[in-house]
A and B are shown apart, each in its own frame.
Chain A
Amino acid sequence: MNTAALADLCYRMADDELILAHRHSEWTGLGPILEEDIAFSSIAQDKLGHAQALYTIMHAHCGEPEPDVAAFMRNAEQMRCSHFVELPIGEYDFSLVRHFLFDVAEYVRWTALIESSVEPIAKLARKIHGELKYHLYHAQTWMVQLGAKGNEESHARMQTALREAWPYALGMFEQGNHEQALIDEGIYIGEASTQERWTAMVIELLASSTLEIPSSTEAHLGGRKGYHTDHLQPLLDEMTEVYRIDPSATW
């Protein structure tokens, strides 16, 4: 097994899930209505679970540190998350649009990984498929609700958020350092194919939303190489504050 290529893929995916889980959890207790607060928090927990499962696989198969150490003891430049997940939560419109664009990509990735040559990854992909279906259903339903069935303000807010999020969303498909190996060895389909499937699915799922899909191809890159926005370090400080007081503590 090409452990370097596998770790490269897993860190990109796990760090995205971890950081977005933390961002989503910032809504806990502050969500727009009780029911949505609980649903969004649940989705955040699921994302954290995906990250943990990926760190666990890397620990078992790639010689990477324990999941808690991998998640909480790395500095910003060691993180491989995209700029998209680092951005502050903004208002609920932006958080929903990011949730939608990210989760379409997440669904595309994990669906492709069912066919991965790496069995632990393929097994995980089969296990969480239902969960991802729900996340996607949740995100798409809100996009259509606020885009087509809401009012002028909700439509305008969603359209603006979609336009702002788009170049960051495209940054999710920045390649790692082992792209060709991942494709050649059947571990993963690669970022170009992922983006192609993502674009088709975004268009399909937003068909009834009346939202206009941006055509811009500009992408915010750098996250996969360890170059991040200024938003990441404060998030890491806050997220790891308790863990770093005593990393040897058992919980």
Chain B
Amino acid sequence: MATILSLDPRVTRMNLDAEQSAPAEPKPALDQFQTFEVFHQAKSGAHHTHVGCVHAPSPELALLLAKEQYGRRGQTTNLWVVNTRDVVTMAADDADVFATTPEKKYRDVGAYMVRDKVDAFKKQMNEGTTE
């Protein structure tokens, strides 16, 4: 049997059949691990921020693997992992409950025209102190 010779010696060592014509057998459905959502804390006291997910067979392994996927660069003080199934979420077609929110400008700080009043107040205060 002729085997694959690769520049990567590890591939050569596998003795893979070079002539293989039949495709690899399909994998059974759902043979993957479940997923866990990962939350990263960069500094002590800071919020944990969602950064992505990992595949793992258990919470312990999820934390273990999250450490390398999301804590291998930069600063990390802590990580949380949460089974994706335990995240309570809204249904996608309920997004319309937020449909009119962008119109409610009175809830945005930017909607208040207070700059003129603040400037006038500051000016008044400055005049007060220089007198």
Interface residues of A (CB under 8 A from B): 26, 30, 33-36, 38-39, 42, 134, 137-138, 141-142, 145, 149, 238
Contact = CB atoms under 8 A, between A and B. Distances in A.
A232 to B, nearest CB: 15
A42 B72 contact: yes
Given A30-B10, A145-B61, 12 more contacts: A33-B33, A35-B55, A35-B65, A36-B65, A38-B69, A38-B72, A39-B64, A39-B67, A141-B60, A145-B57, A145-B58, A149-B58
B69 A145 contact: no
Interface string B1-39: 000000001100000000000000000000001000000
Nearest to B72: A42
Interface in B57-78: 57-58, 60-61, 64-65, 67-69, 72
B82 interface: no
Nearest to A28: B10
B61 A141 contact: yes
B56 interface: yes
B67 to A, nearest CB: 6
Contact of B68 (A26, A42, A145, A149): A42
Contacts of A33: 33, 55
Contact of A39 (B9, B58, B65): B65
Contacts of B58: 145, 149
Nearest to B9: A238
